[in-house]
Amino acid sequence: MNASGILRRSLFIDSSNIEEIKKWNATGVIDGVTSNQLLMLNDGVKPKSFRRVVAAICEEMKDKPVSVELTDSTIAPEDMIAEAKRFANIAENIVVKVPLIPETTKSLYVINELSKIDISVNVTTIMTFEQMILAALSARNNKKTSFLSLFWGRSIEDSANYRSRFDFMAKYPRVGLESEINSKPQAITSATASFIQEGGYDNLKIIVGSIRTASMVGQAFAAGAHICTTTPEILTSMLYSKRSIETIKQFDEAWKEMQKS
C-alpha cells in the first residue's frame, strides 16, 4: 500500500457500492475506501458475495487503502486475528478495521498482534480523546500506515447523551466527568494530531468519519484530520453552493447573449 505521497490530507469514500466507488475514483478525489457491516447490509452485500465484493473494490482502488471491518466483536481474540489474516490475503491494499471494544483489552491485544505481522489496521468506533490515545499507542509500532477513526457525529451524541448523564457516570465513575477536549470533536482531533506528531508516530493517520453534513468535512480538516471518510451523498453535497449555481447560470446566460450579437 503506497501512502508516501498521499494521506496527508485525503478524502475516503464510505461505501461498498462498487459503481459509486468507480464513479468517485474516476474523479481523482478519493484516496481510499472504508466500509463496515451496516454499510454492506444497506448496499445489499451478502455473506456469500462478501469476498468477491471486497476483492473488486481492492482491484478498483489499486494500491490505495481499502478498510474492511472484522465481522464479530464478541469472538475470541485468536479468532479475530485469524479473520484479519483471511482479509489481508484478499489483496495487498486491505486495511483491517478493529473496533475499540470497551470493558476489555481484547481489541488492543488484537491490534498489537496484527502490527507485529505487518497487517495495516484501522482502529474504529472511537468517540473520545482517551480512546484515541489507547488506539495510537496500540498501533504505533505497525510498520504499515495505520489509522485511528474518530466518529465525529457520534462523538457529539456521545458527549450529549452519555458522558454527561449521571446514570452512565454512576456505572462508570472512573471515566470522569465531561472534559473540554471531549466536548467537541474538533478538540479531540486537534489534540490527537498533536499527540501523534509529538510522539513521532509517523505511521498513524487520523480518519474522521460519522460525517453528517458537508460542513463537518471542512471542520474536520480545519481541526487537523488527515482524512475524512464520508458517503457518496455527502461527497456530492460538498459540490453545492447556492451562490455557485446562480453565478454559473449568469455566465451561461451571458454566453448565450453573446452568441446573438
Rounded (10°) angle between helices 185-199 and 129-139: 30
d(CA 205, CA 147): 5
How far apart CA 110 and CA 117 sit, in angstroms, is: 11
Query: Measuring CA to CA, which residue among 78, 116, 72 is closest to residue 98?
Result: 72
CB 80 within 8 A of CB 99: no
Dist CA 175 CA 165 (whole Å): 12
Task: Spot the catalytic one: 22, 23, 85, 97.
Answer: 97
The residue type found at 261 is S
CB 210 within 8 A of CB 154: yes
Bridge partners of 95?
67
Q: What is the dihedral of CA 58, 62, 63, 66, to 10 degrees?
A: -20
Active-site residue, 22 included:
no
Q: Which residues are catalytic?
A: 97
